[in-house]
């Protein structure tokens, strides 16, 4: 029988996935397809950079979770194309696969983490994967910081009504649904709820710069608690 935590997470991500799908359909119906040059304002470009940096830790998680790269690649392609709809679908799939004995212990361990390999070769691969990700997240954090500073200097503050086009709003909805998934990840991994809440507030306020910082500091997000 599923635990209350598992049922709650299933409900949250099912609702969020439906919300993003409805947002996407509604935005296409009122503002046509997004593949138009006139939509690429400086702040829309900066938001897209932030969004796709956001996709990187989620793609790394999928690559880590899947037993073979050939099963991970289609999910990553869907993640790049459909954003948080794919995130919610993948998390729901993982929740539905939780074995019954995990419900009595820690379903989040099964959903978020892959049990460590039993042999030294697997452990060495995991270590190399972690080191590579730390370097990648540091680079991506610097890229996002540079993008933010450049856009502020060249286009001013983002808090302007004219920037809130239908596709900008849809992108922000997509962005923050992925933030919810990452916030669950952060809350599970942190040793105390106080440190988790600090990181989540920073994540909501400053986006991918904080994800990159959190993912690269100290104990990796892909290791055990």
Q: Tell me the pLDDT tens digit for each residue of 28-46.
A: 999 999 989 999 999 999 9
Query: pLDDT grade, residue 27 (50/70/90)?
Result: very high
Q: Over 149-217, what HEC string results?
A: HHHHHHHCCCCCHHHCCHHHHHHHHHHHHHHHHHHHHHHHHCCCHHHHHHHHHHHHHHCHHHHHHHHHC
* pLDDT value of residue 20: 97
Q: Is residue 224 part of a domain?
A: no
Q: What six digits make up the tokens of 46?
A: 């900066």
The answer, yes or no, to whether residue 125 has pLDDT greater than 60, is no
User: Do the domain assignments include residue 71?
Assistant: yes
Residue 207 reports pLDDT greater than 70: no
Total count of domains within the chain = 1
Collapsing DSSP to helix, strand or coil, 165 comes out as coil
Decide: 173 and 87 in contact? Cβ < 8 Å.
no
Q: In whole numbers, what is the pLDDT of the chain averaged over residues? A: 81
Element (H, E) at 216: helix 208-216
Question: Left, alpha or beta for 83 (phi > 0: left; psi -120 to 50: alpha)?
Answer: left
Any domain includes 142? yes
The token duo for 218 is: 């100290």
Using the predicted structure, report yes or no on whether residue 114 has a pLDDT greater than 90: no
Q: Does residue 91 belong to any structural domain of this protein?
A: yes
The 10s digit of each residue's pLDDT in 163-180 is 999 999 999 999 899 888
Contact partners, residue 73, CB within 8 Å, separation at least 6: none
Q: Within its chain, how far is the Cα of 67 from the centroid?
A: 20
Contacts of 220 (CB under 8 A, 6+ apart): 130, 133, 134
Please state, for a pLDDT cut of 70, what percent of the chain lies above it.
76
Asked if the structure places residue 225 within a domain, the reply is no
Range of the structural domain that residue 45 is part of: 4-216
Report the pLDDT value the prediction gives residue 107, as an integer from 0 to 100: 67
- Asked if pLDDT for residue 203 goes beyond 70, the answer is yes
Beta carbons of 167 and 39 less than 8 angstroms apart: yes
Q: What is the C-alpha separation between 195 and 127, in angstroms, rounded?
A: 25
Higher-pLDDT residue of 124 and 60 is 60
């Amino acid at each position: 029988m599923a635990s209350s935590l598992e049922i709650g997470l299933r409900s949250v991500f099912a609702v969020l996935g439906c919300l993003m799908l409805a947002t996407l359909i509604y935005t296409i119906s009122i503002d046509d397809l997004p593949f138009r040059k006139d939509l690429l304002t400086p702040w829309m470009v900066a938001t897209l950079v932030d969004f796709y940096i956001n996709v990187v830790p989620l793609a790394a998680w999928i690559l880590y979770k899947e037993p073979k790269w050939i099963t991970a690649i289609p999910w990553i392609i869907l993640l790049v194309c459909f954003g948080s709809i794919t995130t919610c679908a993948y998390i729901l799939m993982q929740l539905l696969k939780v074995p019954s004995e995990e419900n009595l212990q820690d379903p989040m361990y099964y959903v978020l983490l892959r049990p460590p390999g039993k042999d030294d070769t697997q452990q060495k691969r995991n270590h190399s994967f972690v080191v590579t990700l730390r370097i990648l997240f540091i680079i991506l954090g610097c890229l996002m910081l540079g993008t933010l500073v450049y856009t502020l200097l060249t286009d001013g503050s983002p808090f302007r009504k004219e920037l809130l086009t239908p596709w900008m709003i849809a992108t922000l909805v997509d962005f923050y649904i992925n933030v919810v998934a990452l916030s669950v990840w952060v809350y599970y991994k942190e040793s105390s709820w106080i440190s988790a809440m600090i990181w989540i507030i920073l994540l909501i306020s400053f986006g991918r710069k904080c994800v990159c910082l959190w993912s690269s500091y100290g104990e990796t997000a892909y290791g055990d608690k």
